[in-house]
Amino acid sequence: MTRFAFDIHATDGKARTGTIRMMRGDIRTPAFMPVGTAATVKAMKMEDVHASGADIILGNTYHLMLRPGAERVARLGGLHKFGGWDRPILTDSGGYQVMSLSDLRKITEEGVTFASHLDGSRHLLSPERSMEIQRLLGSDIVMCFDECPRADQPRDVIAKSMEMSMRWARRSREAFNAGAEHAERAALFGIQQGALDEGLRKASADALTDIGFDGYAIGGLAVGEGQEAMFATLDFAPQQLPADRPRYLMGVGKPDDLVGAVERGVDMFDCVLPTRSGRNGQGFTWNGPVNIRNARHAEDTGPLDERCPCPTCTKYSRAYLHHLHKSGEMLGAMLLTEHNLWFYQQLMAGMRAAIAEGRFAAFAADFRRDYFAR
């Protein structure tokens, strides 16, 4: 069986569609990965996540190492068995969460010492420990350990951070390779850093390419810089990475972010937005986001999205969803989350088909016309 292969089936401008082949299954690209932070995609059963069209989900190293613990997950048969998902899982390195969630942290060349946001216990997360945790979880796509600085920091600070992340990338590669059986069936992705700076991004891409990875992520975006700045960076960043490998934009994003990033050559995405928004009463539709809590939906007998074939839209009215969310009923969060995941997967399927048929520019124009019509 194939450990890892990426076949590009068609291109349209910079946009690409293809298939990542792995032992646990194929991943159609462009791909959106629902986020399963703590071994669960919130408010969803795994079989329903797959029914939405997802080929792969994301697990979170930081949260799983703290609770229930990577060693415990390993004793219980690994993350796939533990969470009931038998297809590919990508795990992040934990680096971003350490930076964003831990008030007490110290960064050195060795790694990051931090206090758990749960109980204050002290931990060291290094490239070697991150690889070990992801190996214990049984990850299919492992992410290098890196630092993700804010884009508004001085260039010399961002440069030093990027250079350290590249040294950590090499250590991650060596630690991953030492993983014996796991390394023979899993893949390792490097992470490009450099914030919004084209020169730093190029230096990072060159360093990663020199080390050699199965795929390459674009890190350090979607951290508050705004869509215009993100797109300006994506105008050059994907093309700095090897063309024959998947390109993964981490932590993105809104539906219009996905379309714009695919236009610029990105193949993979993850984001908490469809699930988090679903819990908070926001549904994504082909005609733009809908706040189901608004009073105008209270007696609307129509579906959330007339173009959506998901179980929520085919069985329940806007009025019922409005009632559930106003009443604080957990079913409201479940139904809107299910719809949002279906919508995101329909959007990815639509982009894949449009690229394959050479009509991606028209697809993107039609999407924006309808999505921003209000």
Beta bridge partners of 27: 20
Residues whose CB falls within 8 Å of the CB of residue 309, separated by 6 or more in sequence, listed in order: 342, 346
Name the active-site residue from 48, 92, 257, 267: 92
Separation of alpha carbons 214 and 216, rounded Å: 7
- Taking each helix axis from N to C end, the angle separating 360-371 and 330-356, rounded to the nearest 10 degrees, works out to 150
Is 86 a catalytic site residue? Answer: no
- Which amino acid, one-letter code, is at 366? D
- The DSSP element (H or E) to which 18 belongs, if any, is strand 15-22
- DSSP helix/strand/coil, 8: strand
Q: Out of 12, 214, 270, 305, which one is annotated catalytic?
A: 270
To the query of whether residue 305 is one of the catalytic residues in this protein, the response is no
Alpha-carbon gap, residue 143 to 167, rounded angstroms = 14
* Dist CA 211 CA 166 (whole Å): 9
CA–CA separation, 49 and 318 (whole Å): 22
Contacts of 159 (CB under 8 A, 6+ apart): 194, 197, 200
Radius of gyration of the chain (CA): 20
User: Amino acid identity, residue 65?
Assistant: M
Residue 321: in which H helix or E strand, if any? helix 318-327
Q: For residue 210, how many C-alpha atoms fall within 13 Å in the half-sphere facing its CB?
A: 10
- Yes or no: say if 341 and 49 are a contact pair by the CB < 8 Å rule: yes
Report how far residue 232's alpha carbon sits from residue 248's, in angstroms, rounded to the nearest whole number: 17
Contact (Cβ atoms closer than 8 angstroms) between residue 278 and residue 331: no
Give the orientation angle of helix 360-371 with respect to helix 255-263, to 10 degrees.
160
Task: Compute CA 112 distance to the chain's CA centroid, rounded to the nearest angstrom.
Answer: 23
Q: Which residues are catalytic?
A: 92, 270
